């Protein structure tokens, strides 16, 4: 008899295979399931383009100017502004150097860098900020030193030069500013925000993620900015050469003012009085030290204790300037009532055909122990919110002796 069991397996196998292929074909004909994804369209804050903000303080010492500066993404700087300002307002100097022991505990001391006295790394949610502490020899003209540095800092954040007094910076209260050598050199607070021309999201800066602007990681800003390890980049060539000489000789900074900021000579290239300003020089007034801000400058009184007379054109409101001068005379922030009284008692006069106001400010404490200078300042309003400032700073007795000479000078001015 035939073996039916063997022959019957063939069709059964064929049936099974067909059913399998039909199952596969049936599966291929089904539509794939739809999966929904949520893709964020907002760029993470750390990668977004953002304005650059710089906050800084310039503190005077007898022979040096000290710079404390932070620059970075605006949101990062915003978060530490109050802490930083409180820190610099309470810095004390010992033997001409700042005591930094009062720095917040979460500020990490940074590595040593050329041209710096110290550095701190400050962590914020937006980025790590770099605080630089450095110094330069003081110029005789504190205002010119401030303007020079503030204007180069303005360029670093994409702003143009300012022609206002202190280059739009402001004076600040500082606990360690009662030295007689600092009477006419107030502490300066700088706060500027801008968008450098070549700035963009950090990933785009120079092709490197988180390109550094301040010598540390994730500091943002333009890749073409001058390395912040040299906080004095952009100074005049004379100053840069003097600094390089100091570095080569092992000195921290130029030891003599004349090296970094040579005094103007009596040559034909030296700055002269502004030709737009005409006046009759009072008898006994000697040529003073000119600078880029000064339209005219004189010295009057004894050589050993002379008063300095300057004429500049700058901006700023009347009350703000008077309050600042009062602060310089008293060594602190004046009371609003005292400022009101000074404004009410101002002498009204005409200078160069314009209405003007003259303020003669003396320290309240006129004892022999108080060596603070007095100020005789006249404000002549000009166009476009500018004013002509004629200011004499010096010992109170010299200011009093030069009263008639100043009146004669003001009467002769033409501008």
190: which strand partners? 56
pTM, full prediction? 0.45
| Percent share of the chain, pLDDT over 70 | 66
Give the number of other CB atoms < 10 A from CB of residue 173. Answer: 14
Q: How distant is the alpha carbon of residue 405 from its chain centre?
A: 37
Alpha helices in 271-372 (DSSP H): 318-330, 336-344
The DSSP 8-state label assigned to residue 253 in this structure reads: S
d(CA 241, CA 150): 20
92 and 229 assigned to the same domain: yes
Whether residue 7 is contained in a domain is answered as: no
pLDDT of residue 95: 86
Tell me the two tokens of residue 1. 């008899």
The DSSP 8-state label assigned to residue 29 in this structure reads: T
3-class secondary-structure state, position 123: strand
Predicted confidence (pLDDT) per residue in 21-50, tens digit? 555 555 555 666 776 666 555 555 555 678
How far is CA 267 from each of CA 18, 152, 311, rounded to the nearest angstrom? 109, 27, 21
Whether residue 8 is contained in a domain is answered as: no
Residue 357 region by backbone torsions, left for phi larger than 0, else alpha for psi between -120 and 50, else beta:
beta
Residue 298, H or E segment: strand 294-300
Give the chain's count of helices (H) and strands (E): 9, 16
Whether residue 171 is contained in a domain is answered as: yes
* Residue-level pLDDT, tens digit, the chain, 415 residues: 555 454 555 555 555 555 555 555 555 556 667 766 665 555 555 556 789 999 999 999 888 899 999 999 999 999 999 899 989 988 988 888 999 988 998 899 998 887 899 999 999 988 999 999 999 888 778 888 999 999 999 999 999 999 888 998 998 887 665 554 565 688 999 999 999 876 554 433 333 333 333 333 333 333 333 444 455 555 554 455 455 544 444 444 433 333 333 333 344 444 567 778 999 999 999 999 886 678 899 999 998 889 999 998 877 678 888 988 888 888 777 889 999 999 999 999 999 999 999 999 998 876 555 456 899 999 999 887 788 999 999 999 999 999 999 999 999 999 9
Nearest to 263 by CA among 351, 144, 130, 382: 144
Whether residue 305 is contained in a domain is answered as: yes
pLDDT of residue 138: 83
318 and 217 assigned to the same domain: no
pLDDT of residue 221: 38
Burial class from Cβ neighbours inside 10 Å (0-12, 13-18, 19+) for residue 41 reads: exposed
Phi/psi for 382 (5° steps) reads -120, -165
Contacts of residue 33, defined as CB under 8 A and 6 or more positions apart, other chains included, come to none
Domain end point (choices 238, 266, 300): 238
222 and 144 assigned to the same domain: yes
Tell me the two tokens of residue 25. 């074909």
234 and 290 assigned to the same domain: no
* Contact (CB, 8 A) for 398 and 307: yes
310 and 224 assigned to the same domain: no
Domain end point (choices 238, 271, 304): 238
Beta pairing, strands 347-351 & 92-94? unpaired
pLDDT of residue 395: 92
d(CA 382, CA 355): 10
Tell me the two tokens of residue 48. 């977004």
228 and 293 assigned to the same domain: no
Looking up residue 339, the CATH number of its domain turns out to be 3.40.1000
The DSSP 8-state label assigned to residue 110 in this structure reads: P
204 and 297 assigned to the same domain: no
Nearest to 324 by CA among 145, 198, 143: 143
* Contact (CB, 8 A) for 134 and 115: yes
88 and 173 assigned to the same domain: yes
Sign of CA dihedral 268, 274, 277, 283: negative
Domain hosting residue 327, numbered range: 286-412
189 and 56 assigned to the same domain: yes
64 and 156 assigned to the same domain: yes
* Contact (CB, 8 A) for 177 and 186: yes
210 and 123 assigned to the same domain: yes
Query: Dmax over Cα atoms in the chain, in whole Å?
Result: 151
The beta strands (E) that lie in 220-287 are given as 286-287
Whether residue 186 is contained in a domain is answered as: yes
d(CA 319, CA 343): 8
Structural domain count of the chain: 2
pLDDT of residue 20: 57
Whether residue 268 is contained in a domain is answered as: no
Q: Which residue carries 């605080």 as its tokens?
A: 131
312: which strand partners? 294, 389
Domain end point (choices 173, 208, 238): 238
């Amino acid at each position: 008899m035939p073996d039916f069991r063997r022959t019957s397996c063939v069709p059964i196998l064929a049936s099974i295979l067909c059913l399998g292929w039909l199952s596969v074909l049936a599966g291929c004909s089904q539509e794939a399931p739809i999966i929904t994804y949520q893709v964020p369209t907002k760029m993470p804050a750390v990668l977004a383009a953002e304005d650059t903000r710089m906050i800084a303080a310039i503190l005077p010492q007898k022979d040096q100017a000290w710079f404390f500066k932070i620059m970075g993404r605006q949101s990062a700087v915003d978060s530490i502004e109050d802490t930083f300002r409180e820190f610099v307002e309470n810095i004390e100097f010992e033997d001409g150097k700042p005591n930094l022991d009062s720095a917040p505990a979460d500020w990490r001391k940074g590595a040593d860098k050329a041209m710096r006295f110290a550095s701190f790394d400050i962590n914020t949610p937006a980025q790590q900020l770099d605080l630089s502490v450095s110094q330069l020899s003081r110029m005789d003209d504190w205002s010119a030193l401030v303007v020079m540095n503030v204007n180069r800092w303005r360029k670093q954040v994409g702003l143009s030069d300012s022609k206002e007094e202190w280059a739009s910076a402001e004076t600040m209260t500082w606990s360690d500013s009662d030295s007689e050598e600092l009477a006419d050199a107030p502490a300066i607070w700088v706060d500027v925000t801008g968008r450098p021309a070549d700035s963009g999201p950090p990933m785009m800066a120079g092709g490197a993620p988180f390109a550094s602007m301040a010598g540390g990681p994730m500091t943002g800003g333009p890749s073409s900015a001058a390395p912040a390890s040299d906080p004095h980049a952009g100074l005049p060539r004379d100053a840069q050469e003097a600094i390089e000489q100091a570095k080569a000789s092992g000195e921290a900074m130029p030891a003599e003012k004349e090296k970094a900021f040579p005094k103007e000579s009596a040559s034909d290239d030296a700055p002269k009085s502004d030709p737009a300003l005409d006046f009759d020089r009072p008898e006994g007034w000697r040529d003073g030290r000119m600078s880029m801000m000064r339209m005219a400058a004189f010295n009057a009184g004894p050589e050993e204790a002379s008063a300095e007379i300057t004429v500049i054109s700058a901006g700023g409101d009347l009350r703000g300037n008077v309050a600042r001068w009062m602060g310089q005379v008293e060594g602190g922030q004046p009371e609003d009532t005292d400022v009101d009284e000074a404004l009410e008692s101002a002498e009204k006069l005409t200078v160069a055909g314009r209405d003007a106001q003259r303020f003669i400010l003396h320290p309240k404490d006129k004892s022999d122990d108080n060596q603070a200078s007095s100020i005789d300042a006249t404000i002549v309003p000009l166009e476009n919110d500018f004013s002509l400032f004629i200011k004499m700073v010096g010992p109170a007795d010299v200011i009093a002796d030069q009263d008639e000479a100043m009146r004669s000078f003001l009467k002769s001015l033409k501008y």
